[in-house]
Chain A
């Protein structure tokens, strides 16, 4: 539905629509744009965040661009981004395998089982990997390598490729202590990498494929691989593209997990320094706030460029000839720049060789799609299917089918086992005292110390309460404001609404961490430091941006007749919202709400900086602090991790149905 345009002269009849947008406007201006503006301003100053402020022009930028450490951090970010893309594959395969289960009960069971390990907060997973898997002397990873004999293969490879004795038979690899292994550790943590959002998004998309298509394919004797490559993969390519963009951008703007894994120094030799970590170090270790602001601005520009480039590539087909030439020239210039700058040569070369034939590469992918996008006719689809050599009339025999089923369930169970491993360890250790843990860390020991759970609960209950309060309240506020704003954008095209919409789109790309320093200063000036109010306001402001982006399409899709009928009955905009919009957006509201809740629940970077008092801390920061104690008491610590995960698991189990429905109905329109 195209919203009706309201001109300035008609404004007096519709002015009340602005009321729906005002709370959003106030929040984004205060907590997003003001810090961003302040960041830009301070990036031209030698500023320590306190009493030293001296105008230095572009000196911070000049220094930054000449700083090899900064470029090295980008190199790492691109590398991690590449691996994060590779890490999307298991989630995709799991989603396809679950989707292929014939029994709906099995589908439900697998989905429910996957949800539990998937929604354990990332920080908890990182801390478990750090303590149990990467630990040099008795970590499980080394134990596995030595026990399985895999170390011999690695040692052989080490000798062949001259890695410099990273892997030696009989010697434990120092995962987090060796500068040559720290990046690998940053890549492999979290194996088998089945993130909840990705799996559920793929599942939702796959559910959109009608049974008739599979039946038709089965009649034509299409084998399992062709089903995947010609039916399923092309349909979820949109979601893959979208997740890919999120993944790459997140890698550049996020520092949380690296911070938890390698510390603020970025591990030995600072090898694991990503750009956001570089910025945090400048701000809060070196106290060069102005410089950190400049880093934030550069980060923002890079993220925006990447976002723009990805949009360009995704919509390549819609570009005019001249625009394509321009895009190619820009790409070549960027490739030349990256290649010229020594540290980023491989990325420059990849870009160089990909930019010219991009159209052909993309066309090849397009042809894969049996459905040929929206424009293809049924006849064309049939022709494509018939032309596919692998989709011959070979019917699978019974044996192959049994083998495939076994492989499918085997793969799911294999991934499930690995996904449950951290959870299992967490529960196992939560019942041990320190002596039991030291002697038999991975086995069940008796007596079991159930009192660890009550000890942990006493310790973290206030922080769990804080997190619940914070997450529920900010999610409710974000949804309320976002729905109002979505109504504002979707209902009529008001004067300046285009400007506001673009302002919101820009915020989607703005890395929150880039604004951290000015935001901290703003909160200080507002006397909001060390208050939950600060966290609620900031997370509401950030959460509503994505929510508006999603909800606007839903409100716009509501038939215009419903609004007109309500208007004829004399309903005001508020009444139309209550009677027409609210009942129809329930599932998507649930989906966005769950995503926002989890995001607020898992956040620890801002609370770590803003909150001082223990009784105000959210649970994630408390876990980070518990993990930092000397002579850890492992049992209560692990029980604490488990307790911090339970609310999210319960939330997901209760709302999974809504969540999937929301996604299926297009929450993430790819």
Chain B
């Protein structure tokens, strides 16, 4: 006994380390056994939605699904969430996808430039096109029992479709939109009214009034708009950039009614659009005006730091997505009433900005939480099945009830607070898209951050960014086009399969198959290639000084029209300028 005690005394440090090591081993083994019992199919779902409730939504629906699978198909499934914060999501997704260790289902779209995600979708994700035409089995016995899966989405699953790949790639689960939240009590106290001004000038005036007043308890001035670098982006894309809508007419070379980043690059490089165009200047001028009412150094704040001022009742307004609505309400509970409204657009009578704004932002594309199935998924059929479960009318309603969001499936009821948050289906897209990926993306983020915090004027930004964008952007543009062209091989395979089916003498509906073949050939192979070649030509040869955009008419054409109809006043170049 004595010798044992002596041994312990002499070796207490090593014994302590051994005990700790044994505890660590036991804990690791216990947790692993708990997560994946033998014979269980583990389905991992990776997402960045760390808002309150989302984890619960996936967990509860996951547990229901596990139970259902066991009862109906005798399959042991375990749904595990990989929760990755926004700040590291892009880097996490890159490394996991490249390493072949990505989760089975991955949420798409954050932390990397859009072209990069496109390349990843092409390379690492499974196309869902063959399945979206079939009914969702979990809608059996309901109104959508015989409706194609994609038709059950409020947007016809447009948000899951990638034009560039011509495939349905993701399954969206909720729909969002951007709104202006405000502290009704504080607004009333500071401005005398609890209704926020609906127009831009009125809103700026209210902000100025708020900024003049100080809190009686802290002696500090109130901040009109709470937010961080995360929130300012919402103002930019949903309000300020709408001023650029008219530029679409100059550079929508593929005529899809949106400004692609490649189109914007070609337009800027060739001079079709100038960076000092009044519409673009307006975009920057508005950002400048708004950021004066943000907290100092807001770009250095994290997303939750941005909320901090709002919940502390030191800021009146805050713009965020409806995904934050529940959390904002929860934080304000018992303290103040949260109001909600659309972003304040300039009135058409606004002498400075009115001519650039023709309507609010079109919000159909805001159907979110796009979940894709990775090619490395060991059980893609189960992953697909789980996504169908989540996007069934009942499943989607339940998921969004728990999370507090608006469902993405037609007929699914939103939670009571979210009624009235449905997206605006009538509006316009912005036509400002400098996000070409690669170095230009980094440069843009850096220089735009300086502009946002008033450390750089528009002139300086343009002087520094535009030459860089034009010069270095060529490399990024080429890279993006290369990535897109790699997808052509896949299209050839699909075309060959469609043609083989059509040529099969036993095949039915051969006319439909041939129509699909021709359609695919034109839309996937010929038209994109034509657009690509056109862009190459434009980059190589440039534009003539008097060149016009795809939807515009040359002065000569106007002249001919005038001669023909004899009323040149109605279609004068002045009108054309106005339309821009």
Q: Footprint of B on A, CB under 8 Å?
A: 49-52, 131, 134-138, 170-182, 263-270, 280-281, 284-288, 434, 438-439, 461-462, 464-466, 468-469, 472-473, 520, 523-524, 529-530, 608-610, 612-615, 624-625, 627-632, 647, 654-655
Given the complex, which residues of B lie within 8 Å of A49, measured CB to CB? 98
- Verify B24–A628 contact, CB threshold 8 A: no
CB distance from A143 to the nearest CB of B (A): 11
C-alpha spacing A628/B102, complex, angstroms: 20
- Verify B445–A438 contact, CB threshold 8 A: no
Mask: chain B, 302-323; 1 = CB below 8 Å from A; 0 = not: 1111011101101000000000
- Verify B297–A176 contact, CB threshold 8 A: yes
- Verify B101–A281 contact, CB threshold 8 A: no
Which of A268, A269, A628 meets B86, CB within 8 Å? A628
- Cβ of B427 within 8 Å of any chain A Cβ, yes or no, is no
Given the complex, which residues of A lie within 8 Å of B90, measured CB to CB? 284-285
The 3 closest A-B pairs by CB, nearest first: A174-B297, A628-B85, A177-B297
Which of B32, B438, B445 meets A265, CB within 8 Å? B445
Which of A177, A530, A614, A627 meets B299, CB within 8 Å? A177
- Cβ of B50 within 8 Å of any chain A Cβ, yes or no, is yes
Decide: A173 near B297, CB < 8 A? Known: A472-B21, A631-B304: yes
- Verify B32–A615 contact, CB threshold 8 A: yes
CB distance from B178 to the nearest CB of A (A): 16
A sample of 27 cross-chain residue pairs with beta-carbon separation below 8 angstroms, ordered by A number, consists of A136-B295, A136-B297, A137-B223, A137-B301, A137-B308, A137-B314, A138-B312, A174-B300, A175-B300, A176-B301, A177-B229, A269-B447, A270-B445, A285-B90, A285-B442, A286-B437, A465-B24, A473-B21, A524-B99, A612-B102, A614-B82, A625-B84, A625-B85, A628-B88, A629-B304, A631-B52, A654-B13
C-alpha spacing A466/B32, complex, angstroms: 11
Which of B123, B309, B452 meets A50, CB within 8 Å? B123
Which of A181, A438, A524 meets B308, CB within 8 Å? A438
Given the complex, which residues of B lie within 8 Å of A50, measured CB to CB? 98, 123
Decide: A628 near B82, CB < 8 A? Known: A137-B223, A269-B446: no
Decide: A136 near B331, CB < 8 A? Known: A629-B50, A655-B13: no
- Verify B453–A174 contact, CB threshold 8 A: yes
Q: Assuming A267-B300, A268-B453, A628-B302, what are 17 further A-B pairs, CB within 8 angstroms?
A: A134-B300, A136-B297, A137-B305, A172-B296, A172-B297, A174-B298, A176-B300, A269-B449, A269-B450, A286-B441, A287-B119, A524-B99, A524-B101, A612-B103, A628-B50, A630-B303, A630-B304
Which of B27, B86, B331 meets A465, CB within 8 Å? B27
Given the complex, which residues of B lie within 8 Å of A654, measured CB to CB? 13, 16
CB distance from B464 to the nearest CB of A (A): 10
Given the complex, which residues of A lie within 8 Å of B24, measured CB to CB? 464-466, 468-469, 472
B76-112 at interface with A (beta carbon < 8 Å)? 80, 82-88, 90-92, 94-96, 98-103, 112
Decide: A270 near B446, CB < 8 A? Known: A176-B300, A264-B91: yes
C-alpha spacing A268/B291, complex, angstroms: 15
Question: In chain A, what residue has the closest Cβ to B89?
Answer: A628
C-alpha spacing A288/B94, complex, angstroms: 12
- Cβ of B25 within 8 Å of any chain A Cβ, yes or no, is yes
- Cβ of B439 within 8 Å of any chain A Cβ, yes or no, is yes
CB distance from A385 to the nearest CB of B (A): 43
Given the complex, which residues of A lie within 8 Å of B304, measured CB to CB? 629-632
C-alpha spacing A520/B223, complex, angstroms: 46
CB distance from B555 to the nearest CB of A (A): 43
- Cβ of B51 within 8 Å of any chain A Cβ, yes or no, is yes
- Cβ of B116 within 8 Å of any chain A Cβ, yes or no, is yes
- Cβ of B23 within 8 Å of any chain A Cβ, yes or no, is yes
C-alpha spacing A214/B21, complex, angstroms: 45
- Cβ of B28 within 8 Å of any chain A Cβ, yes or no, is yes
- Verify B123–A51 contact, CB threshold 8 A: yes
C-alpha spacing A438/B305, complex, angstroms: 11
C-alpha spacing A628/B28, complex, angstroms: 24
Which of A135, A181, A264, A462 meets B28, CB within 8 Å? A462
Mask: chain B, 516-543; 1 = CB below 8 Å from A; 0 = not: 0000000000000000000000000000
B34-52 at interface with A (beta carbon < 8 Å)? 35, 44, 50-52
C-alpha spacing A136/B441, complex, angstroms: 27
Q: Footprint of A on B, CB under 8 Å?
A: 13, 16-17, 20-21, 23-25, 27-28, 31-32, 35, 44, 50-52, 80, 82-88, 90-92, 94-96, 98-103, 112, 116, 119, 123, 221, 223, 229, 295-305, 307-309, 311-312, 314, 324, 327, 331, 437-439, 441-442, 445-447, 449-450, 452-453, 455-456, 482, 486
Residue picked from A51, A179, A462, A631, most chain B C-beta under 10 Å? A631
Given the complex, which residues of B lie within 8 Å of A51, measured CB to CB? 123, 486
Question: In chain A, what residue has the closest Cβ to B482?
Answer: A52
Decide: A288 near B446, CB < 8 A? Known: A180-B455, A465-B27, A630-B51: no
Decide: A268 near B450, CB < 8 A? Known: A174-B296, A628-B85, A629-B304: yes
C-alpha spacing A268/B304, complex, angstroms: 18
Given the complex, which residues of A lie within 8 Å of B307, measured CB to CB? 630-631
CB distance from B113 to the nearest CB of A (A): 8
Given the complex, which residues of B lie within 8 Å of A613, measured CB to CB? 44, 80, 82
- Verify A631–B455 contact, CB threshold 8 A: no
- Verify B449–A135 contact, CB threshold 8 A: no
Question: In chain A, what residue has the closest Cβ to B51?
Answer: A630
- Verify B296–A173 contact, CB threshold 8 A: yes
Given the complex, which residues of A lie within 8 Å of B23, measured CB to CB? 465, 468
C-alpha spacing A369/B312, complex, angstroms: 59
- Verify B308–A136 contact, CB threshold 8 A: no
CB distance from B318 to the nearest CB of A (A): 13
- Verify A177–B298 contact, CB threshold 8 A: yes
Given the complex, which residues of A lie within 8 Å of B95, measured CB to CB? 284, 520, 609-610
Given the complex, which residues of A lie within 8 Å of B442, measured CB to CB? 265, 270, 281, 285-286
C-alpha spacing A50/B295, complex, angstroms: 42
C-alpha spacing A520/B91, complex, angstroms: 13
C-alpha spacing A427/B213, complex, angstroms: 35
Given the complex, which residues of B lie within 8 Å of A170, measured CB to CB? 221
Decide: A178 near B300, CB < 8 A? Known: A468-B21, A524-B100, A654-B16: yes
Question: In chain B, what residue has the closest Cβ to A181?
Answer: B297
- Verify A287–B453 contact, CB threshold 8 A: no
C-alpha spacing A530/B112, complex, angstroms: 22
Residue picked from A51, A173, A179, most chain B C-beta under 10 Å? A179
Which of A137, A175, A268, A284 meets B309, CB within 8 Å? A137
Decide: A520 near B297, CB < 8 A? Known: A180-B455, A285-B90: no
- Verify B31–A177 contact, CB threshold 8 A: no
C-alpha spacing A263/B91, complex, angstroms: 12
Given the complex, which residues of B lie within 8 Å of A286, measured CB to CB? 437-439, 441-442
Question: In chain A, what residue has the closest Cβ to B28?
Answer: A465
Which of B13, B82, B301, B311 meets A612, CB within 8 Å? B82
- Verify A615–B13 contact, CB threshold 8 A: no
Which of A179, A438, A524 meets B455, CB within 8 Å? A179
Given the complex, which residues of B lie within 8 Å of A473, measured CB to CB? 21
Decide: A529 near B101, CB < 8 A? Known: A182-B300, A614-B82: yes
CB distance from A112 to the nearest CB of B (A): 17
Question: In chain B, what residue has the closest Cβ to A531?
Answer: B101
C-alpha spacing A284/B93, complex, angstroms: 9
C-alpha spacing A263/B223, complex, angstroms: 25
- Verify A179–B450 contact, CB threshold 8 A: yes
C-alpha spacing A615/B442, complex, angstroms: 33
CB distance from A435 to the nearest CB of B (A): 9
C-alpha spacing A267/B31, complex, angstroms: 38
Given the complex, which residues of B lie within 8 Å of A287, measured CB to CB? 94, 116, 119
Which of B87, B311, B450 meets A263, CB within 8 Å? B87
C-alpha spacing A612/B24, complex, angstroms: 19
Residue picked from A131, A136, A281, most chain B C-beta under 10 Å? A136
Given the complex, which residues of A lie within 8 Å of B452, measured CB to CB? 268
Decide: A178 near B297, CB < 8 A? Known: A284-B95, A630-B303, A631-B327: yes
C-alpha spacing A530/B295, complex, angstroms: 41
